[in-house]
Amino acid sequence: MIAMQKKLNQFEKSEVWELVPRPQNQSVIGTRWVLRNKIDENDIIIRNKARLVAQGFNQEEEIDYEETFAPVARLEAIRMLLAFVCFKNFVLYQMDVKNAFLNGFIDEEVYVEQPPDFQNFKFPNHVFKLKKALYGLKQAPRAWYERLSKLLLKKGFKMGKIDTTFFIKTKENDMLLVQIYVDDIIFGATNVSLCEEFSKCMHSEFEMSMMGELNFFLRLQIKHLKEETFINQAKYI
């Protein structure tokens, strides 16, 4: 219950929705709680998570939503990034966007039921009108990707022509690489100051969890090894 209440407090802080009277001629989407444990690379539980999910299977195309597509990075693209970083010999970092989908703005008029066990005592029959996307909505991934990609392009990044989840920014002789995988972001640069600048930018725009150096991603265990040989080498395994 505590995790659920914290989640709802975040909704209020982020202005995800507003409580309104139930509409007469508009469908209302149900909601449910999803509880799960987040584990690390050693399969150790590091925290319990509660997520309120919209029952998007009730949505009707061209009535409740239009565009749903959002690109997702392929594993091959991640491997290529690791190989390139190894060649250039710099460190990759990882950050996680808290409640990523809640940062995506939606154009459609969408109403959802009040969360189970958390109905408003004064207005138990009211519903929430969404201002931002909610997990489970058909258009949620698209809304989040559009919000993030527009921000990166505004900040001077260039989007990959083949992989549109990959972004690059150059400054003089240095480069900053950013790879998006839903709500996880991995990034690295030939100059650490670019990483610091990017981290500050993301924290100013979203609520983030900075995870430090990348060591576990998509079931890949990653280690950055510096060997004092003829030249310094970085290996990702």
pLDDT tens digits in sequence order for the chain, 237 residues long? 777 888 888 888 888 899 999 998 888 888 888 877 666 666 666 666 778 888 765 545 544 445 545 567 777 788 888 888 888 888 888 888 877 888 888 878 889 999 988 888 999 999 999 988 888 887 888 888 889 999 999 999 999 888 889 999 999 899 999 998 877 888 999 998 999 999 999 988 888 876 678 776 666 667 666 543 233 334 444
User: SS3 helix, strand, coil % of the chain, rounded to 5?
Assistant: 25, 35, 40
Handedness of CA 60, 62, 63, 65 (dihedral sign): positive
How does pLDDT run across 7-21, given as a tens digit for each residue?
888 888 888 899 999
- Report yes or no: 214 and 207 within 8 Å, Cβ to Cβ: no
Q: Name the DSSP letter for residue 105.
A: B
pLDDT value at residue 187: 92
Q: Could you tell me the CA-to-CA distances from 152 to 29, 191, 201 in Å, in that order?
A: 32, 18, 10
Distance from chain centroid for Cα 94: 12
Report the alpha-carbon distance of residue 115 to residue 164 in Å, rounded: 35
Length, in residues, of the chain:
237
| Cα-Cα end-to-end distance for the chain | 40
pLDDT value at residue 151: 94
Tokens 């931002």, located at residue: 132
Report the alpha-carbon distance of residue 226 to residue 186 in Å, rounded: 20
pLDDT value at residue 237: 43
Report the alpha-carbon distance of residue 48 to residue 45 in Å, rounded: 8
Q: Phi and psi of 199, rounded to 5°? A: -60, -45
- Report yes or no: 77 and 179 within 8 Å, Cβ to Cβ: yes
Structural domain harbouring 75: 2-235
Q: Name the DSSP letter for residue 62.
A: T
pLDDT value at residue 2: 76
Report the alpha-carbon distance of residue 28 to residue 129 in Å, rounded: 9
Cβ neighbors of 90 (< 8 A, separation 6 or more) are: 188, 189, 190, 234
Q: Name the DSSP letter for residue 65.
A: B
Cβ neighbors of 1 (< 8 A, separation 6 or more) are: 117
CA atoms within 13 A on the CB side of 66: 4
pLDDT value at residue 117: 84
pLDDT value at residue 170: 93
Biggest CA pair distance of the chain: 74
**Structural domains in the chain (count):** 1
